[in-house]
Amino acid sequence: MEDVLDLYEEAYDAKRPVVCFDEKPVQLVAETRKPQPVAPGRPRRYDYEYERKGTANVFMVMEPLAAWRHVTVTEQRTKLDFATQMKELVDIHYPEAEKIRVVMDNLNTHKRASLYDAFSPTEARRLLRRLEFHFTPKHASWLDMAEIELSVLSSQCLDRRIPDQETLARETNSWQDQRNRDGIPVKWRFTVNDARRRLSHLYPSQS
């Protein structure tokens, strides 16, 4: 825990950015009847019936100190999808960074080995030389600020019926672009000292 909190207290460094990473499954739901539009004195109305259209996955990458986030929609969230996200961090989002410090939870796909499964050993090693993984403790994924941003995405963008992956990608990209234009940060205030005071029961006892 303190490893992650120490990262959050560091000053901004473009050469060594701290990036938070998380993912979320999304249920795709289509209308069975066309909604009735807004009319004077009457809100937009939906039929209670709907059709399940499967699921999709949303990857969230966020650099808190830069007030920047990037959303990617995929069909699933396998170790190959995770490896692709890490490659994009290195080659597309942070090509000039010396080291990208990535905060994430301990999901079973979040492994260095996933990159070796996805790419040649030479390519996997190239990518991993630029990446530094920092994992949140078990049952403490709330320390990952990307989880906070996914919660905002859910309330502002996903709290409605979205029928397919294409619509999901279009809507999340629009949300992402607006948040980035507005420069919306995450105001993180929980420090190592706070953890030692408020979560003392989680620390090893000294005899």
CATH number at residue 102: 3.30.420.10
Length of the chain: 207
**pLDDT above 90 for 121:** yes
The closest alpha carbon to 2, from 139, 183, 194, belongs to 194
CA 194, chain centre distance (Å): 25
pLDDT digits (tens, 9 = 90+) for 165-183: 999 999 999 999 999 999 9
Residue at token pair 């790419």: 119
Q: What are phi and psi of 135, to 5 degrees?
A: -100, 140
Cα gap 161→72, rounded to integer Å: 19
pLDDT digits (tens, 9 = 90+) for 93-119: 999 999 999 999 999 999 999 999 999
Residue 31: per-residue pLDDT: 57
Q: Is the pLDDT of residue 35 over 70?
A: no
Q: Is residue 164 part of a domain?
A: no
Residue 17 covered by a domain: yes
Picking from 5-19, 86-100, 188-202, which range would have the lowest pLDDT averaged per residue?
188-202
**pLDDT > 70? residue 123:** yes
The pLDDT value given to residue 203: 66
Query: Residue 191 falls within a domain, yes or no?
Result: no
Q: Per-residue pLDDT tens for 144-158?
A: 999 999 999 999 999
Q: What is the pLDDT of residues 62-89, one digit of tens each?
A: 999 999 999 999 999 999 999 999 999 9
CA distances from 189 to 70, 119, 145, 169 (A): 23, 38, 11, 32
End-to-end CA distance of the chain: 22
Whether 40 is in a domain gets the answer no
Helix (H, G, I), strand (E, B) or coil at 78: coil
Confidence (pLDDT) at 155: 95
CB contact at 8 A, 69 and 61: yes
| pLDDT for the residue numbered 45 | 57
Identity of residue 78: T
Domain count, the chain: 1
In a domain, 88, yes or no: yes
Residue 52 bridge partners (DSSP): 29
Indicate the pTM of the whole model. 0.86
Residue 146 falls inside a structural domain: yes
Determine the structural domain holding residue 107 and report its residue range.
1-25+51-156+175-185
pLDDT number for residue 111: 96
The verdict on residue 5 lying in a domain is: yes
Tell me, what DSSP letter sits at residue 59? E
Note whether residue 55 is domain-resident.
Answer: yes
pLDDT of 1 above 90 = no
Q: Which residues 6+ apart lie within 8 Å of 116 measured at CB?
A: 124
Q: For residues 93 and 155, what is the distance between their CA atoms, to the nearest angstrom?
A: 26
Q: Which of these ranges, 8-12, 14-18, 137-141, 148-152, has the smallest mean pLDDT? A: 137-141
Q: pLDDT confidence of 12, banded at 50, 70, 90?
A: very high
Question: How far is 129 from 116, CA to CA, in rounded Å?
Answer: 13
Q: Tokens 């420069």 map to which residue?
A: 183
Whole-number average pLDDT of the chain: 89
